[in-house]
Every structure is written in structure tokens, then in C-alpha cells.
Amino acid sequence: MITEVKEILYSAEQISARVKDLGQAITEAYQGKAPVLVGILKGAVPFLNDMMRAIELPLSYDLMAVSSYGAATTSSGTVRIRKDLDLAIEGRDILVIEDLIDTGLTIQYVLERLHSRKPRSLKVCTLLDKPARRRVAITPDYNGFTIPDVFVVGYGLDYAEEYRNLPYIGVLHEAIYKNGGERG
């Protein structure tokens, strides 16, 4: 474990087992359909990658880059699309793959934009849900884990573009992000 990580919330094995369960539930729910997975860059990439293999259906995927954090540890509340979809989604079954739902502002913004493109269905699958910080009424259709109000890194989640490569989800020591990133 990297010394900046205070504790491991979910091991690589726990994440893998939960992804398998989510993949099975989605496979059952989308029988006879070919969903389009929409991964939200950058944090959701490992989760999207694993979910694609766990869903036993024909599917396609696309990526969006959406920003509300910048280099901060809390959402600014201002959401911007930095990279939009390449695929047309009208009449398609869309499943947004997100790493973390926090305030809900980012996913609400994404859902509003995607809904305006007239998909047949639009649902959300998140790896982590942090309802203690919710500012809008959003409930994911599929949720890996509900977490407390802590700052997490690993498995795609970052602080200042670091820690994404950790195979687990861990709680970052507050001193790292409150004191400008000094490492111990």
C-alpha cells in the first residue's frame, strides 16, 4: 500500500467480484438489446474496461470527458463537456458508466445532455456512490459500493492526476490534499 493511502476501502478482489455481479445484473436487464456504454473520462476508464468484459451482450461504447473538479478535491458546481460522444445515440439503450457520484451535479448535467438526444433508455452505473454529499436528487440504477464522505483514490480515481493506477480504492490522507500535496 502506498503510504499516502490511509486505508483500503475495497481491495482489487472485492472490486472484481462486485463488477462481476453488476455485469450479470446488467446482462439480465438488457437481454435482447445491444447497449451503448458511455464512459466518463478519465476516472471511469478502468471500471468501463472491466464492465465491458463482465456484460455478456453485444455492446458498443463511447467516451465523454466532463469536468467539474479541475485540480480541486470538491466539485466547483460548474460542469463542462470537454469531449463529446462520437456515436449517435437516438433510439439506443444508453448506460452511463461513472466512477463516482458525489454531489450529483456532473451526472445530472450528463443525463440532461444525453436525454436531449432521444435515446430509447438512459441509465447510470457507478462504481462508487457518496450520497452524503448529494446536492441533487440522483440515484444510480446500478451501484458498486456506497461510500462515506471521504476522499478516495485508486482504480481510476485520482488526486492531481496521481493514484489512478492503484488496483484498490483507498482513502487518501487529508494532509496530502489539504497541504498542497506534500508526500510522506
pLDDT in tens, 113-134: 999 999 999 999 999 999 999 9
Examine residue 131 and state whether it is found in any structural domain, yes or no. Answer: yes
> Residue 89 sits in a domain of what CATH number?
3.40.50.2020
pLDDT score of 182: 47
Instruction: Give ∠ CA 154-160-163 in degrees, rounded to 5.
Output: 20
Confidence band, pLDDT 50/70/90 cuts, at residue 2: confident
Examine residue 117 and state whether it is found in any structural domain, yes or no. Answer: yes
Examine residue 125 and state whether it is found in any structural domain, yes or no. Answer: yes
- Provide the domain count of the chain: 1
Active site residues: 102
Answer whether residue 183 shows pLDDT above 50.
no
- Please state, in angstroms and rounded to a whole number, the distance separating the CA atoms of residues 122 and 111: 8
Residue 40: phi, psi to the nearest 5?
Answer: -100, 115
Residue 109 is classified by DSSP as H
Examine residue 8 and state whether it is found in any structural domain, yes or no. Answer: no
Reported pTM: 0.90
Examine residue 169 and state whether it is found in any structural domain, yes or no. Answer: no
Which residues constitute the domain of residue 125?
A: 13-148
Examine residue 119 and state whether it is found in any structural domain, yes or no. Answer: yes
Answer whether residue 64 shows pLDDT above 50.
yes
Q: Give the E-state strand segments of 102-183 in sequence order.
A: 121-129, 142-146, 152-153, 169-172
